[in-house]
Structure 1
């Protein structure tokens, strides 16, 4: 799992990754960490890492059981070994909202907190 000294990441689904990158850089003082437009980019400002996922990214895939719209955004926790984390959580009785999916940046799975807010566990391909 991420440690307290790492960035806190939030994923936003966007229609145009480059336009979103330009907007956050121009208006809010973010800087580019990774830019794989048109699929994905991440920008950083202080401790916040904002993940911008375009329609071609794995993060923009429909959430199982949900239609498009609000509720698809989620916090994003990076793990070193996704399979080990899944096993650990299953042993604790945590239910998953998706199967593992793979995309340009790595592998991920979704969990929902007790209120239904989504948490993405993500293992980077790099």
Structure 2
């Protein structure tokens, strides 16, 4: 595997790169890879690399219609959803709605500081 194909990368347009770095590293177990400029950073968790593109980045300028985040989201599997919810609530984070259960497991949505969604999922 070459360095460029170690990760599956997802670009999130963020309002504040430093706030996004703090959110993903402090609360969701990501590691900061690079932060070469105030307008950009990338963080990783396992094979997932998030490209955090601030307003001054080329990635953000390439987005034709800025606005609210859509229904797309990063999906993170957790071993104990209730424990994760308690931990994140204790850190002052708010969730979007309640836990939803289905045949495959349970999930809840969390928004990063820019409104991008993160799904925490506990398999059945």
- TM-score when scaled to structure 2? 0.49
By percentage of residues, which structure has more strand?
Answer: 2
